[in-house]
Amino acid sequence: MMSMTPDHHQRAPAAASRSTQVFFQQGCPICGRRLEIDVNLLGRRVYCQHCGGGFVAMDASLMTTVAPACPADDRVDALLERAALALEQASTDGEAD
């Protein structure tokens, strides 16, 4: 695995200081290689040491995903409301007889 730096010209940290660093893994979206990225670089643009491709460092396990509203959900809700109204109307019509 390769370490990531925000700039191609920065040197990798010395072995002694590296032991205190925390890394996460992210695949390079350009070449697909699995990379080790310092957590201090989260949200910053980094460059793959293999292919040179630049991307924003993101740890998927820290991201919360919210499912986008599905257009079908709106239709289902509308149908349920219409069904409830129809049932209510049918029950009141049956009482009048």
% of the chain at pLDDT higher than 90 = 27
Identify the pLDDT of residue 41.
92
* Distance separating alpha carbons of residues 85 and 82, to the nearest angstrom: 5
In this predicted model, what pLDDT tens digit does every residue of 27-57 receive, in sequence order?
999 999 999 999 999 999 999 999 999 999 9
* Distance separating alpha carbons of residues 13 and 40, to the nearest angstrom: 13
Say what the pTM is. 0.45
Cα distances (Å, whole numbers) of residue 16 to 9, 11, 62, 76: 20, 14, 28, 59
Q: What are phi and psi of 84, to 5 degrees?
A: -65, -40
